[in-house]
Structure 1
Amino acid sequence: MTKKSIKSSLHSVIFESNTPLGKLFDIVLLIVISFSVVIVMIDSVENVHNKYGDLFLYLEWIITIIFTIEYALRIFSSIKPTRYIFSFYGIIDLLSILPTYISLVIAGTHFLIVIRMLRLMRIFRILKLVRYVRASNVLAEAIKSSRRTIIVFLEAIIIIVVITGSLMYLIEGPEMGFTSIPKSIYWAIVTITTVGYGDIVPQTALGQTIASMLMIVGFAIIAVPTSIIGGEIIKGELNRKSDATCIGCNCSEHDEHAKYCKQCGKEL
């Protein structure tokens, strides 16, 4: 086999998942990625790391070598290697193997191995989740269209938490845990988002009343932006036009899901 034929065969296996070998390659790669991520998570548990740290390190090196070979093969079989290297997934592929090598050369950088979690991003490529990019674009356009309304809403929330935090600092005071205005604002943010950590709790009747009112206002944080963005999404979908052109009268600008021409009635 010539170098060109080998390169072509590898390209069909690595980059084309519609072939039997390509599907098998993706399945194996998905298993290895999942296994490596599980190792990273389990190894972060101190007791487990102390007991099985050496085993996990050994497994990590095996996985890193596998990914290194795969990365090299992707470069070799790419039609435009430079384009792959500097592409989004090319950078992700490189970052998923670099930490292990860096930790070997530079002492004290073992914590960088957590970057291996970026390998999860590669699942998007394997499962072809990019097909859902259109849906994310619709959401992005809706947020962009409603950005001014959302900014005004966020400014109102900021004003509320600053004023409420300042009031709670005066009402409750340091003895109740509200030791400063910034810390009181932190409490206001935690309360208005209905998180409620409970590390700072108002004790006075007035403070509890303000806290109750702030919790009620907190529901608007979810409801208002959701309704604003949801309205923009619906508006965008209703105004979305199809690229189809009627072969009978050359009429275009049909609704996205239109099956018949709006002018002559001919099937699109």
Structure 2
Amino acid sequence: MRAHVNQILHSNAQPIVHILVKGLFLLAVGVVVAIAMVETLPNSDYTTNSFIRHIREAAWIVLTVEFFLRIWAEPERTTPRGALVSRIAYLRSPLGIVDLLAVLPAWINLVHAVDLHWFELAAALSLFKLSRYVPALSLVWNVVVRQSRSIFAALVVLSILLVVAATVIYFFEYEAQPDSFESIPQSLWWAITTMATVGYGDMAPITPIGRLIGGIAMVFGIAMFAVPAGILASGFAEELRKRDFVVNWQSVARVPLFARLDATAIASVAQLLKPRSVSANQAIVRRGDVADSMYFIMEGEVEVELTPTPVRLKQGEFFGEIALIQNIRRTATIFSITNCRLLVLEAVDFHRLVDQVPELKEHIEQTSEERLSHNNRQSED
């Protein structure tokens, strides 16, 4: 039973049930967030509306059930280390804490009236639960964690510049504007808005040297705020490359041609291959074209236009190698019969790969010879 619940919560083993349960949880989150926002409207009577209150209570019940189901099923997700240890680890995890805080005000409200603002805060926290269902959010978190040291270093430098700017502007503007720049902490607000190039206008230097400092702070602010953005951008690119590499590695490992290679060799091949998706009834290569790559079929089916009988290739097979081996133009047109997912090996990488792995070269050449002899027999017939 527990394993069944774990499958529903965490995998697509039962896709319909998983989608329905996930949809119910997402709906509950959406309801509590929407009601929390609406209740803050001025002159709103939603706080006393019994129908709205019952809907919110139903949503809290759904989130509570989800929380306890996750606690109960957690031992099924982790390596054998004891049910209690697994559940405590879940409660200490970021998402476990979010799950708890999202429903805690509702529980406390059962025994003691809770201020409405705590429900609003809990509703906002429940939005972090979406990271389970939206891959982009988990990607953001992974990038932040991996780049945390670089981001921390950039924030330290930025903090130093903010304090320096606040101190200097206080020194030069205090006498001219004692009410606006009455202390360094108050001047720090000016430094933040200036270096962030927001400029609310509530505090502005009026002395020539103060304006010069403000201009310098803006320039440094643009540069320093761009550093964390650049770190995150490079982190996103690196994370996407890693995910593509993992997908390619798994795809390459399933190709019969590479089945005998060890993990290191498969990793080398995966770095050379580029994924490509092709819709049904599309020409992948045409007869007479310059041969610039060969293709491995990961999903779908293609047809090689040969006379008199076309040949169909399916998942795990490859094509386009004959022209590369013989250094000639394409000898046939190949169309996709269904939607296809291919891995593309460019000509330069192909020759490098077959030189490094003689077994692959032998297998590919043998396959191409068999295909050529088959084509010749068909032509003679």
1:39 deviates by 0.8
Provide the aligned length of Structure 1 versus Structure 2: 255
Return the alpha-carbon distance in structure 1 between the equivalents of residues 65 and 96 of structure 2: 14
Matched, 1:265 2:356: yes
TM-score, normalisation: structure 2 = 0.53
Q: CA 1:236 to 1:15, structure 2 compared with 1: closer, same or farther past 3 Å?
A: closer
Q: Report the CA distance shift for 1:45/1:151 in structure 2 as closer, same or farther (over 3 A).
A: same
Mapped contact 1:191–1:214 kept (Cα < 8 A): yes
Counterpart for residue 94 of structure 1: 100
Aligned amino acid, residue 177 of structure 2: G
Matched, 1:164 2:174: no
Q: 1:210 aligns with which of 201, 208, 213?
A: 213
Correspondence for 1:199 among 187, 198, 202: 202
% of aligned pairs identical?
Answer: 24
Counterpart residue number, 2:48: 54
1:36 counterpart = 2:39:
no
Q: 1:155 aligns with which of 160, 168, 189?
A: 160
Partner of 1:17 in structure 2? 12
- 2:133 aligned partner: 126
Tell me, what secondary structure is at the counterpart of 2:11?
coil
The structure-2 alpha-carbon separation of the partners of 1:140 and 1:111, relative to structure 1 and needing over 3 Å to count, comes to: closer
Aligned pair in 2 of structure 1 residues 151, 262: CA closer, same or farther (>3 Å)? farther
More helix by share: 1
Higher strand share: 2
- Aligned match of 2:343: none
**Retained in 1: the 8 A contact 2:9–2:18?**
yes
1:107 is paired with a residue of what secondary structure? coil
For the Cα contact (< 8 Å) 2:38–2:46, is it kept in 1? Answer: no
Report the TM-score when normalising by structure 1. 0.72
| Kept after mapping to 2: 8 A contact 1:143/1:229 | no
**Rg larger in 1 or in 2?**
2
Query: 1:201 offset after TM fit, Å?
Result: 2.3
Q: Distance in 1 between matches of 2:89 and 2:263?
A: 43
Q: Residues 68-87 of structure 1 correspond to what in structure 2 (within 5 A)?
A: 68-76=64-72, 79-80=75-76, 82=84, 83-84=86-87, 86-87=89-90
Moved more, 25-34 or 141-150: 141-150
SS state at 2:188 partner: helix
2: CA distance between counterparts of 1:238 and 1:122?
26
Deviation, 1:198, is 1.4
Structure 2 residue identity aligned to 1:119: S
Tell me if structure 2 keeps the 8 A contact 1:165–1:182. no
Correspondence 1:174 to 2:265 = no
Segment drifting more, 247-256 vs 87-96: 247-256
- Structure 1 unpaired stretches of 5+: none
Change (3 A) 1:255 1:211: farther
Distance 1:68 1:165, change over 3 A: same
Q: CA RMSD in A?
A: 4.0
> 1:207, CA displacement in angstroms?
3.1
Letter in 2 for 1:203: I
Contact 2:105–2:114 (8 Å) recurs in 1: no
Q: 1:150, 1:250 → 2: CA distance?
A: 40
Asked if the contact 1:193–1:218 (Cα under 8 Å) also holds between the matched residues in 2, the reply is: yes
